[in-house]
């Protein structure tokens, strides 16, 4: 009986650990705009401290969703790495490019990169401006919504 109780307690506690889940492209729906997630270079995901996963079809959807909910309830922020389609990387450490030369699903021309040298390489080829995670949050706060580039 003790072992069963221990196992049940362990299962309940481990079930709430903040762990990312793979995005199922073509099946998962964006938690912000309700569009089906199909673009493997621009998807994103957040995981709450309780382990609930929310997936997004574009980085700007994630940024807007987090701003509405308040970032303190989230444990993980992830974005697709533009150079490694389908691979999720830490969104808080990523480098972001806003470039009209690189379209994104929601029209903000926003792409995430797992490292700054890759972002600079694409910036050199396609133009645009580089941003950090905190700069994206500041931009969203000033504009009231992070959306299509003007």
**Using one digit for the tens of pLDDT, what is the confidence trace for 58-111?**
999 999 999 999 989 999 999 999 999 999 999 999 999 999 999 999 999 999
Distances (CA, A) of 24 to 27, 29, 36, 80: 6, 9, 10, 13
Q: Domain extents for the chain?
A: 17-143
Give the span between the Cα atoms of 98 and 108, in whole angstroms: 7
Q: pTM to 2 decimals?
A: 0.86
């Amino acid at each position: 009986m003790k072992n069963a109780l221990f196992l049940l307690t362990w299962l309940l506690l481990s079930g709430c650990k903040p762990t990312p889940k793979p995005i199922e492209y073509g099946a998962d729906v964006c938690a912000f705009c309700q569009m089906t997630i199909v673009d493997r270079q621009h998807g994103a995901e957040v995981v709450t401290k309780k382990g609930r996963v929310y997936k997004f079809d574009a980085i700007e959807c994630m940024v807007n969703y987090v701003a509405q909910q308040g970032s303190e309830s989230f444990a993980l922020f992830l974005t697709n790495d533009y150079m490694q389609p389908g691979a999720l990387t830490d969104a808080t450490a990523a480098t972001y490019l806003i470039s009209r030369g690189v379209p994104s699903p929601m029209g903000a021309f926003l792409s995430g990169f797992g490292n700054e040298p890759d972002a600079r390489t694409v910036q050199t080829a396609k133009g645009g401006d580089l941003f950090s995670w905190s700069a994206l949050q500041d931009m969203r706060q000033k504009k009231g919504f992070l959306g299509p580039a003007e």
